[in-house]
């Protein structure tokens, strides 16, 4: 388990930016002691910010693996979901909020303030640095607000610089406008030549090594993602913003090379709380992917243990019937609905048999024959069980942008070709996960390397399937389903697209289950449970006032702790 305030030492490899988990104590001291802020550089604090965006493994353990992914039918525990898995609000800890305050937001504010303390000629060289830091800060504020609603922003993070210790909250509506304007301004500045040659973040920029054109595309793409959240709340405003963004200077993320992805060495995420080990593949998604020969199935999941060799051994050892026929299908998932996974009809999948096998050193050992698939653990923690591959944490990828543009076209918000962007998105997503699986050095159930490279013909064959080949009559449904699959490594976006569109569902092209527990259909949570502040909290009144404003919207739910309530953009 990761200890508090341990910052990773960054190493720049010739093949790309990577991270090890070695501690860098001086960064810890600089990050926690306000008296020392003057001796850290803007570049170092910028790097700290990036590390902090991804460095809290509790977000994966609690918020993703134990909450969003089961809710969104992206995984199940070993023996299926319990009847209380949705109602247990404690699963979702909203780690992102505590990561923003004070770490990510504080560090990015430091970058700007450190630059302001430099001599005027040095400030003039760091205009672009300030805007790049603002882009990340705006993105992360949006990410926090996405499940929280109102948050402190405009007055936050400034206490050490003479600001208030009781920052007021911005409503989500006001925040979205503020962030959009901030990102738009950053694009304008980054597109404007400066009087002084600009100092680059260089290798301290663990995303793009200071490439300004990439950051412009990130800012525009973030604006597009935010704009689409307005769909149910203000469709006209969304359209206006979308058309403006598509025409924005510098453009959007438009290739795999543009994708906004954090990459790190194996030891950055080496199991433990990062680990997806023991999490089962979800039945409905596995069935859809298998029936359509989706190449990503072997990158997302591990085959079960019923290989031809093990099957023959089981038969020879009288563990299965002599007339049993080998099943060439090796991918099977667990129903997400507790009642279905616990039903007698599915019980046989949990009834494993054991056989005797000879291991790699010639010893006879007992092998339990598991017929169900697991998530591919190294896709989430490349350092799992001594792995040496690379971790990747996507924020906005080229495939993401393709699917956004496809959806907007299918909704007639734009005049672009929905089919063209859909086809690009599917191909980009498959290629993206092929690359991730290769670099993560994925393994089979025995721990042996199992990566099989993508053949371009697989994409062609997949795109010809009836459920996959673009059909305008069901095009929007297909786009949402493929975007959902693409968000395998971005659970928040899978959750968001469901909240925004209601898909995938039990009647969509990619059919998910109705979640039934003890005979009752369950509602999928919509937001974080918001804790009520203690009266001793210095910002008590502002927090209470913010909650009152949110509660004035009937969609907010029964109170701050109601996970079935909705944030502002998630209008019924």
Q: Which residue has the higher pLDDT, 35 or 194?
A: 194
Model pLDDT, residue 259? 98
Mean pLDDT of 48-53: 94
The answer to whether 66 and 91 are in contact (CB under 8 A) is yes
Is 342 inside any structural domain?
A: yes
Mean pLDDT of 462-491: 98
pLDDT band at 451 (very low <50, low <70, confident <90, very high): very high
Burial 519-529 (b: 16+ CB within 10 A, else e): eeebebbbbbb
Is 302 inside any structural domain?
A: yes
Is 332 inside any structural domain?
A: yes
Q: What are phi and psi of 84, to 5 degrees?
A: -110, 10
Q: What are the tokens at 116?
A: 């302001």
Angle between helices 418-440 and 456-463 (to 10 degrees): 140
Strand partners for 366: 356
Is 538 inside any structural domain?
A: no
The answer to whether 12 and 172 are in contact (CB under 8 A) is no
How does pLDDT run across 351-385, given as a tens digit for each residue? 889 999 988 788 999 988 899 999 999 999 999 99
The answer to whether 131 and 123 are in contact (CB under 8 A) is no
State the burial class of residue 2 (Cβ atoms within 10 Å of its Cβ: 0-12, 13-18, 19+).
Answer: middle
Model pLDDT, residue 207? 98
Mean pLDDT of 542-570: 97
Who contacts 418 (Cβ-Cβ below 8 Å, separation ≥6)? 406, 407, 409, 410, 470, 472, 475, 476, 479
Using CA atoms, how far residue 431 sits from 241, 394, 444, 454, 490, in Å, is 30, 14, 20, 8, 16
Who contacts 72 (Cβ-Cβ below 8 Å, separation ≥6)? 491, 494, 495, 498, 524
Omega into 214 within 30° of 0, i.e. cis? no
Task: Count structural domains, the chain.
Answer: 1
How does pLDDT run across 213-239, given as a tens digit for each residue? 999 999 999 999 999 999 999 999 999
Model pLDDT, residue 89? 66
Q: Report whether pLDDT(35) > 90.
A: no
Give the mean pLDDT of the chain. Answer: 92
The answer to whether 394 and 261 are in contact (CB under 8 A) is yes
pTM above 0.75, yes or no: yes
Model pLDDT, residue 347? 84
Is 484 inside any structural domain?
A: no
For 325, the domain range is: 283-378
Q: What is the DSSP string of 296-310?
A: THHHHB---S--HHH
Omega into 102 within 30° of 0, i.e. cis? yes
How does pLDDT run across 301-357, given as a tens digit for each residue? 999 999 999 999 999 999 999 999 999 999 999 999 999 999 998 988 888 899 999
Is 128 inside any structural domain?
A: no
Q: Report whether pLDDT(76) > 60.
A: yes
Most distant CA atoms of the chain, gap in Å: 84
Question: Which parts of 263-357 fold into alpha helices (H)?
Answer: 283-291, 297-300, 308-316, 338-341, 344-350
Model pLDDT, residue 38? 61
Is 492 inside any structural domain?
A: no
Give the C-alpha separation, 32 to 335, whole Å: 45
Q: What are the tokens at 11?
A: 């190493």
Mean pLDDT of 167-185: 98
Element (H, E) at 475: helix 475-486
Using CA atoms, how far residue 38 sits from 78, 150, 160, 311, 322, in Å, is 50, 32, 12, 66, 76
Q: Report whether pLDDT(9) > 90.
A: no
Is 202 inside any structural domain?
A: no
CA-closest candidate to residue 210, choices 201, 223, 199: 201
How does pLDDT run across 254-281, given as a tens digit for each residue? 999 999 999 999 999 988 999 999 999 9
State the burial class of residue 159 (Cβ atoms within 10 Å of its Cβ: 0-12, 13-18, 19+).
Answer: middle
């Amino acid at each position: 388990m990761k200890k508090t305030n341990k910052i990773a030492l960054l190493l720049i490899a010739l093949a790309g930016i990577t991270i090890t988990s070695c501690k860098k104590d001086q960064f810890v001291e600089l990050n926690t002691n306000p008296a020392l802020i003057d001796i850290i550089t803007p570049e170092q604090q910028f790097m700290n910010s990036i590390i902090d965006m991804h460095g809290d493994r509790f977000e994966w353990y609690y918020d993703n693996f134990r909450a969003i992914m089961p809710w969104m039918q992206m995984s199940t525990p070993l023996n299926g979901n319990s009847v209380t898995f949705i109602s247990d609000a404690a699963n979702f800890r909203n780690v992102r909020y505590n990561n923003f305050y004070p770490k990510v937001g504080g560090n990015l504010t430091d970058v700007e303030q450190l630059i302001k303390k430099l001599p005027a000629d040095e400030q003039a060289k760091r205009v672009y640095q300030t805007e790049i830091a603002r882009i990340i800060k705006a993105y992360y504020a949006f990410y926090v607000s996405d499940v929280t609603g109102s948050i402190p922003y405009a007055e936050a993070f400034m206490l050490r610089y003479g600001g208030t210790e009781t920052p007021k909250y911005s409503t989500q509506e006001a925040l979205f406008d503020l962030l959009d304007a901030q990102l738009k301004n950053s694009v304008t500045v980054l597109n404007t030549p400066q009087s002084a040659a600009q100092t680059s973040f260089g290798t301290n920029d663990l995303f793009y090594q200071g490439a300004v054109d990439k950051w412009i595309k990130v800012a525009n793409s973030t604006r597009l993602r935010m704009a689409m959240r307005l769909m149910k709340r203000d469709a006209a405003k969304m359209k206006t913003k979308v058309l403006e963004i598509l025409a924005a200077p510098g453009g959007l993320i438009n290739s795999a090379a543009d994708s906004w992805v954090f990459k790190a060495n194996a030891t950055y995420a080496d199991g433990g709380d990062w680990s997806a080990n023991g999490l089962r593949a979800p039945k409905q998604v596995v069935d859809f992917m298998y029936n359509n020969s989706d190449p990503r199935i072997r990158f997302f999941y591990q085959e079960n243990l019923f290989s031809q060799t093990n099957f023959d051994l089981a038969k020879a050892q009288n563990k299965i019937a002599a007339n049993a026929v080998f099943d060439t299908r090796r991918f099977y998932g667990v129903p997400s609905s507790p009642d279905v996974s616990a039903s007698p009809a599915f019980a046989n999948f949990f009834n494993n048999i054991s056989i005797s096998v000879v291991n790699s050193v010639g010893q006879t050992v007992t092998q339990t024959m598991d017929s169900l698939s697991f998530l591919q653990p190294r896709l989430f923690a490349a350092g799992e069980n001594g792995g040496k591959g690379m971790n990747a944490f996507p924020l906005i990828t080229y495939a993401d942008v393709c699917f956004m543009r496809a959806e907007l076209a299918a909704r007639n918000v734009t005049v672009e070709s929905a089919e063209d962007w859909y086809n690009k998105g599917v191909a980009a997503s498959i290629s993206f996960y092929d690359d991730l699986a290769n670099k993560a050095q994925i393994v089979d159930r025995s721990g042996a390397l199992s990566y099989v490279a993508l053949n371009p013909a697989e994409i062609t064959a997949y795109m010809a399937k009836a459920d996959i080949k673009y059909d305008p009559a069901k095009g929007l449904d297909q786009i949402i389903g493929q975007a959902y699959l693409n968000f395998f490594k971005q659970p928040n976006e899978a959750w968001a697209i469901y909240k925004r569109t209601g898909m995938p569902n039990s009647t969509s092209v990619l059919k998910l289950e109705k979640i039934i527990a003890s005979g009752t259909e369950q509602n999928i949570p919509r937001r974080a449970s918001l804790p009520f502040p203690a009266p001793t909290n210095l910002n008590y009144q502002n927090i209470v006032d913010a909650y009152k404003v949110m509660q004035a919207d009937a969609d907010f739910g029964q109170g701050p702790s109601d996970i079935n309530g909705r944030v502002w953009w998630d209008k019924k």
